[in-house]
Each structure stands twice: as structure tokens, then as C-alpha cells.
Amino acid sequence: MKKHCVELPETGQFSPFFLDYLDGKQPLQKFYALPPALESFESAIANKNFSDSTRAVLTSALSRQYANLELADSVAENLKSLAYPDTYTVTTGHQLNLFTGPLYFIYKIISTINLAKNLSKKYPDQHFVPVYWMATEDHDFDEINYFKLDGKKYQWKSAQTGAVGDFELDAEFKRFMKTVDFAPEVFLNAYGTSKTLAEAVRKYVNELFGEQGLLIVDGDDPALKREFLSVIKSDLFEHKPFEKATQTTEELEALGYGGQIFPREINLFYLDKGLRERIERTEKGFGVVNTELRFTAQEMLELVDSHPERFSPNVVLRPLYQEMILPNLAYLGGPSEVVYWLQLKGVFDHFQVPFPVILPRNFALILDKKTQRKMGQLNWSSKDLFTPLEEWKKTFVKAEASMDIGLAKQKEVVASLFEKKGKEAAHLEKTLEDAFEAAKVRSLKIIDQMAGKLRKAEERRLHTQIERACSIHDFIAPGGSPQERVVNMMQFYLAQPDLIRQLSACFDPLDFRMMVLEYES
């Protein structure tokens, strides 16, 4: 692939909050520990005090989670290395989207793998392991039960409830799979040999990225949850995460930055088979929303101690949980994720957990040959791709028009005529000046109408070029959303099975620009 880069502000796709963070704007510096730069990792390593006992719990949990998978040598090596104090992780996380969902799922993982490689070169005395955190406990099935390919939506409909990682690949799922029989073997094998969605995602992610040493972590694990007991109790009984996150959010809002997440008094869900619902305070203790489950304070405390796996963190606590059970130095996420991590600095400080380096994943736009050819016909550069279509069309038609379609000179003449005559007529009768002014307004509206007709005529004359531009935008922003947030990887992977290798060669996790990639196939 050939790579061209466009500065993120020039794409129009990113919030001022996100861009100010990348620019290191002074008002935001108190909301993170270290800037998103390679040089920050020396301090990150020095600050990360990860206990041997937690390492032992982590390695044991991962050994169980990988028990039924055939491991690539690089995965086996990384699993083994986690037991040693000079091993650190860099992490990304995502939901269990069907067939990886939108392209940015694989962009996240490739960025994370490449960061681990960069750190290994920079700090050869330490070992760095890339991690994908599976959001198995998430319960928003409607967000993950489909993917889009060539403009078509493929969707699995299910009446199952609770954490999506536990969803069974049942008869309904098998019927859905018959509609996607064109999928590559890596997916057909993973889904065809798995009992649950979490099992299938682990298999295909391992198959796609295992050779590069990626480890897959499922936080839905009793032993790992036990490492989180102090936070679970604080959230339930003291509401400290709510207090600290709210304070930080209010400070950001005072600076003009809107929050992405909204802390609750209790930021935990009750998790069981087929159930993931919020826990709330009641007059007599605690209750689980939309259920009959009720607990006194003592019963809740006993439940936490005996079954920590029943407590699932929401978006406020999940980052803290991750950092408490991993020797982690950095988190890589999308623009919204980067922003909401900054809302959590106070929570980390309260629990004395080091705040990781927060990095954006790589951003990319892939162009096929057909789109590249149309760009050439329009003489478009990579930057032109990010000009809003209507703005480009307006400028293009005006530049290519055979006459002044705005009728600007004519409007000046008419306006001048009515104004001049209106003043002259005022000497005869004062109200005539207002009459001439009203006539001027009506006349200018008529000229504007004619200008609009001229523009439409020019657009019809230039329809070939305009259709090319529309086709390009349909490809790079289907439905008006950036390609990477809509299109599934199979749109390119089916024709080019080494897509991941090609992307890996282009991605630089410390280059915060949009990559425009010319696809050779």
C-alpha cells in the first residue's frame, strides 16, 4: 500500500477536546499523567509498581483462558514472560462485534502490536506484550450483532440476554451463518467450533494476530475480579469513584470540555447467567434494576467477598480494573475513549493506581483502484477527500461554470439602480423610498432564483464529474460516516488475505495523522 498522511484537524472528524489533548494544551495537562509520546514510557515504566502476587494471579488466569487453544510460539512466549517483573503490557479493548465489526477494530489491535514493537526497540532491557481486552461483560447486544459489507447489513437476531460473551451460538446463530458462507475460513472455523461468542472471538483474534504475539484477556474471571475487591466495596459503600469522576468531569466542563461518560453513584452491574443489570441503593440496602434481587448491606458485603465475579464494572470502573490486573503502561483507543479516560484521572489518583499513557489508535482510509482512478480524473489529492461534498460541489461548479452563475454583477447593478432612484423619488414623496427598497428586495430574490436555475443547469452539464465525486464519498464515508467506522475488514480481506500485514507495515502508533492508503488489489 502507498501511504499519504493528512493532519487530523484537516479531516473535520475530530473534536476540539481530542485535538487539544494531542496538542498538549496546558489546561488539559492536569488530567493525565504522561503525554502521548515515546519518551513518556521511561517514566511509565518507573512508575508501574505491579506486585508479584497479582502477576501470579494474572498468569494463572490466562493459562486457564488459553487452555483449549493451540498457541503460536510468540503467544506462548508472551504468556510465559508475564511472570517476570520486567514485562509490561500495552492494551486496547473493544466489544465482541460480529466478524470484527467496523475496520477500526483491527486498526486498534495493529496499533497496539506496533507500539509493543516500538517499545521493544526503544527499551531493549524490558519486554512488552500487546493485549486485546475482550469486552465480554458488555450487554449491549444491538451494538455488536451485525456487520456491514458492500453496503449490506448482516445481522444476528437473538432473544438471549446478559453479557454478550456468554451468548450461545445456537440454532438461530447457525441459520445466520448460512447467510455469510462467503466469509474466510478464519471466521467460519472460529464460529463453527465455539459454544459462545467469547470463545469464537478469542479464536479468530488469536488466528489473525497470534503470530505477532497478541494476548487476549477476558476480565470476566473470578480470580481477576478478586484483585478488584477494594474498589468494588468502595464503589458500593463509599461511592468514591462517583465522587472523584464527577469532580474531574466538572473541572473539565468548566474549561469548556464536555464529558463522554456520566458517573453514577454506583458504577457496577450485577452479573449472572443471562443477566447484567445496574446495582442501585435502596432504603434497606441494595437492589438490582429490573429484577426482584434485593440485598441488605451485610448480605451485599458477604456477596462481594464470596462471589466477586458477580460484579461487573461499567465504563467508569473498567479502565481502573484493567490497570489493576495488568502490568500496563498504555491504553490505545478511539477519540471518544481517549477523552473519557481523562475524566478518570481523579479515580486513579484516589486508589493510587498509576495512570497509563493514553494514545489514540491509528486512523486510516483505504482507497481501492476504482476510487483512486476517479480521484485522478478529478485531480483530487488526499486532502480533497475530506472536503464536505456540498462544499466541494459549490466550489467546483462555480470554477467550471461557463458564465457567472451567481449573477453578482447583475445584482450590483439592480441594487444600485433601485437605491439611486429610491433616493430621487423620496424628494417627491418620502414613502416612495421604502417602496423602491421593497422592489429592490423582490428583484434580488428573482435574480437569486435565476442564479439557482443557472447553477442547476451547470450541475447537469458537469454531472459526470459530480457523480464521480459522489461515488468517491459513498466509498470513503458510507452513509455519511467515516469508512473505518462502518465498513467491515472483509471488504478488502477477501481479495487481499495479507491485508493485516500490509496495514501493519503502514501503521505507526506514534504518528497522529490520518493515513490515506492506496490499496493495490
CA distance 268 to 273: 16
pLDDT at 399: 72
Asked if 393 and 353 sit in the same domain, the reply is no
Asked if 126 and 60 sit in the same domain, the reply is yes
pLDDT at 424: 79
Asked if 173 and 64 sit in the same domain, the reply is yes
Q: Give one word for 269, left, alpha or beta, with left for phi > 0 and alpha for psi -120 to 50.
A: beta
Interval 286-344: pLDDT, tens: 999 999 999 999 999 999 999 999 999 999 999 999 999 999 999 999 999 999 999 99
Q: Which residue's C-alpha cell is 417602496?
A: 435
What grid cell was written down for 86? 520486567
Enclosing domain of residue 188: 20-229+313-357
Q: What is the DSSP letter of 195?
A: S
Handedness of CA 493, 497, 500, 502 (dihedral sign): negative
pLDDT at 403: 57
CA distance 385 to 374: 11
Asked if 153 and 195 sit in the same domain, the reply is yes
- Establish if 510 belongs to a structural domain: no
Asked if 189 and 137 sit in the same domain, the reply is yes
Q: Which residue's C-alpha cell is 449491549?
A: 140
- Please provide the average confidence, as pLDDT, over all residues in the chain: 93
Taking 70 as the threshold, does the pLDDT of residue 404 lie above it?
no
- Establish if 269 belongs to a structural domain: no
- Establish if 509 belongs to a structural domain: no
Interval 334-375: pLDDT, tens: 999 999 999 999 999 999 999 999 999 999 999 999 999 999
pLDDT at 405: 57
Output the pTM of the full model: 0.91
Asked if 345 and 437 sit in the same domain, the reply is no
Residues 173/158, Cβ–Cβ less than 8 Å: yes
- Establish if 346 belongs to a structural domain: yes
- Establish if 515 belongs to a structural domain: no
Asked if 93 and 174 sit in the same domain, the reply is yes
Interval 187-206: pLDDT, tens: 999 999 999 999 999 999 99
- Establish if 288 belongs to a structural domain: no
453 or 137, which is more confident? 137
Asked if 77 and 171 sit in the same domain, the reply is yes
Asked if 168 and 61 sit in the same domain, the reply is yes
- Nearest Cα neighbor of 153 from 197, 109, 101, 189 is 101
Residue type, 254: A
- Establish if 306 belongs to a structural domain: no
Q: Which residues contact 294 (CB under 8 A, 6 or more apart)?
A: 282, 284, 285, 286, 287, 288
The total number of structural domains in the chain stands at: 2
Q: What CA–CA distances, in Å, run from 490 to 78, 269, 502, 517?
A: 29, 34, 14, 16
Asked if 120 and 202 sit in the same domain, the reply is yes
Asked if 108 and 27 sit in the same domain, the reply is yes
What grid cell was written down for 341? 479516560
- Establish if 500 belongs to a structural domain: no
Asked if 321 and 456 sit in the same domain, the reply is no
